[in-house]
Structure 1
Amino acid sequence: MKKRGERMLTMVSSPSARQKWIMTLVFVILAMAPLYLSDFRLSLLGKFLAFVILALGLDLLWGYGGILSLGQGVFFGLGAYGMAMYLKLEASGGKLPDFMSWSGLTELPWFWLPFQNFLLAVVLAVLGPAVIAALLGYLTFRNRIRGVYFTILTQAMVIVCVTLFIGQQAYTGGTNGMTGFSTILGFPLASPRTQVMIYYIVLICFVLSFLLCYRLVHSRYGKVLIAIRDSENRLRYSGYNPAVLKTFVFALSAALAGLAGMLFVLQERYISPTSMGIIPSIEMALWVALGGRGTLYGAVLGTLFTNSAKTFFSERFPDLWLFFLGGLFIVVVLYLPGGLMSLYQKVSERWGKKHVTQHSPSVSESHR
């Protein structure tokens, strides 16, 4: 009986078991959010969860694969624009969108036609960024471009895409972006009931994305991904093709970013090229770094913590919130270089040692 109790104590107090219990509790709290949050706070939480989906993909790419991309904002923006195009066409009632009429267009461009269908718009918003990332990634990784050179390449991609979207005002809305969305599948977007339904859709996508990433990380591919991060050349000598493996995770992270952008625009009801610029892309990497890269729980924690702190400081200190947020980043980098998850691990280890010491039998008892 005593041995059985000790086994149960070990299972409950192990770090992985505690993390699963904590995540289960988080899911329950998030599922009950519409009961205790206002419409505005619920919309904010929904956008934060959309950001978490993007952070999970970036953590796979950077934390586990060692591939730092500062161009995730592009894939996020492409997914957002994909859904925005559908919403804009639905709001126009079959007519030409207003910004196209102002620019002198008389008919809908050919690449806008698939976005008249909701399901096609969803598929293209997710698969479009994945295909672009796969093409770019394979050409890059096949030529063994990695490290800081790959990071610079992704930043160049951001500059090119933002310039393109701003310059093609007749097709993208230019610097003004797209707005004026009123309905989705006939349901009013401004309705609190519609927003609650969208929140639950975002929550389901978040849970499925987390489970997908968790399963992937704990599979054989996850171990190979870590091997790429730690010693790519040694993995290549073992018979693997790192270019294909890295291309897959880059495409997957882009698909998750596109999904996040699509869910974001359903709640924000606005998208512009500024959302896919260099600054948002760097901020996305900060979410993962602050939480602790190489841990999916860290990506979730870092994204929610950073965006909540940003909202808190901006509401209470409108003129100084950037200084507070910057100070927060400095404190975490100096004292928690492993991110917020390193603090959790330290507390867990100390608590575990203390708990084991209290429950371990004495020497005299062990000889009885």
Structure 2
Amino acid sequence: MPRDDTSHSCDSKKPKKRLWIFGLVAAASAIWLLLRTGNKPSRITYPCQQAAMTNIEIIKLAFLTALPSLAVIRSTLSPLKSVGVLALLLVGSAFITSDSGMQALRFTLAQDYSAYDRVPLQLLENVAQTSEHTSDIFLAQGVTGVNGNVTLGIAALFELMAIEGLHFYNTTAEPSGLIERDDVVLLKVNSQWSYRGGTNTDLVKAVIEAIIAHPDGFTGEIIIADNGQGIGNLNWGDANAFNNSQAIEDVAQQFPDHDVSTILWDNYRYNTVDEYDLGDFSEGYVRSSTWDANTEIYPSYPKFVTDTGLYVSFKNGIWDNTTGFDSDRLKIINMPVLKSHFRYGVTGCIKHYMGVPQGYVVPSVDPSIPHEHFSIALGGMGTLMA
């Protein structure tokens, strides 16, 4: 009776087909990595690039695991030219993501900025055509002192504000001022990148010095916080400061006589929780289940516990089990850094607010990038602020 090898033949083709698919995915990921990273090595930390590298690493591991079975494939498949091409694709993709490959392709992730010249930014006064729905902007330029000290600049800014009727300190003499002596002041910084990519730590230090110099004696708490979308770091070894080794963590530790702490909201991105008044005292993100159709965003905000045990809701203020929320006591100072951005061109006060929401990935929007990124152009950050 003739032997039926149809089933055996079909089965023998499956490993070959799978390996080809793996090889093509690895090659596509490597090409994507090269094209999207371009001449800016810092982009390699973006979610899409990280996903591409993960694909290559997983496929490389799968290929190495499958090596012992190649002898079996050799006995059933002839010729093996396709397997050779496949191996070349996998090895090439693995090389691109290796340290040697990065160097050969002139990718340098550690850059020396010490030789760069500091260029002052000159801003020209521009009067709005209408006063409706506009904000007052106070500007102090050319005020950086010795070794990056900006204390005099902060003083000049506060003086200018006071002249226009906006006082920084809320005191008995100036009850309409912004900061009261027992307030909880949250400094929202940018911690996602090092060097010029992050908020200037000399400026953060000067603002803290100004807060604790409250005329009535500051007894409150200062929190430095950010959500770097999974790659944030408040302890960069190469920070944006006159002395690049001065990280945000270092600044916080310079005030041992006051309650100054840091918190990285990256650690709570995957914890979706309820508010304190609903009995949920865990740290995490409160995310609305309602999709804002106009700006295409699920509004969200962090809630957390400080080092001193205060329960803080970014939206509702300080929680007390007896009196409930005190929204007046929580004051937020937005401290961005002006820099370029690969999608929106520039990061400023509004784009900087991207460090507040959860960073929730909506697969229908993008499988790897938080959906809030895409809402920025539609006014998503404004929806969060509102």
Asked whether the two chains share a fold, i.e. TM above 0.5, the reply is no
Query: When the two structures are superposed, what TM-score results if normalisation uses the length of structure 2?
Result: 0.22
Structure with greater strand percent: 2
TM-score by length of 1: 0.23
Higher RCO (Cα < 8 Å, 6 or more apart) = 1
Greater Rg over alpha carbons, structure: 2
Structure (1 or 2) with the greater helix fraction: 1
